[in-house]
Amino acid sequence: MDALAFWMPGPWELAIIAIIALILFGRRLPEVGKSLGKGIVEFKKGLRDVQDEVQKTSNEIDRAASEDKRSKD
């Protein structure tokens, strides 16, 4: 049996999860979805900022290494 298929919920399990979510959150479900979406957007922005910073630092290191190499020649 495939290990990944073992953990995939079927349609009945998804229906039960949806019913439980409706019971627990009820009217607040749209608010929960909205805040979850905002959290995901903020996470992606933060991740993009980190990637930009790493790329900037990498470019600066490459530039410094090439200038150092030119000065030695």
Give the pLDDT confidence of 8-46 residue by residue, as tens digits: 778 999 999 989 988 888 888 888 889 999 999 999 999
| Confidence at residue 42, expressed as pLDDT on a 0 to 100 scale | 97
Evaluate whether 60 touches 67 at the Cβ level (below 8 Å).
Answer: no
- Helix %, strand %, coil % of the chain (to 5): 90, 0, 10
Find where tokens 């039960």 sit.
16
pTM, to two decimals: 0.54
Dihedral of CA 22/23/27/30: which sign?
Answer: negative
Is 2 in a helix, a strand, or coil?
coil
Residue 6 has pLDDT above 70, yes or no: no
Evaluate whether 32 touches 25 at the Cβ level (below 8 Å).
Answer: yes
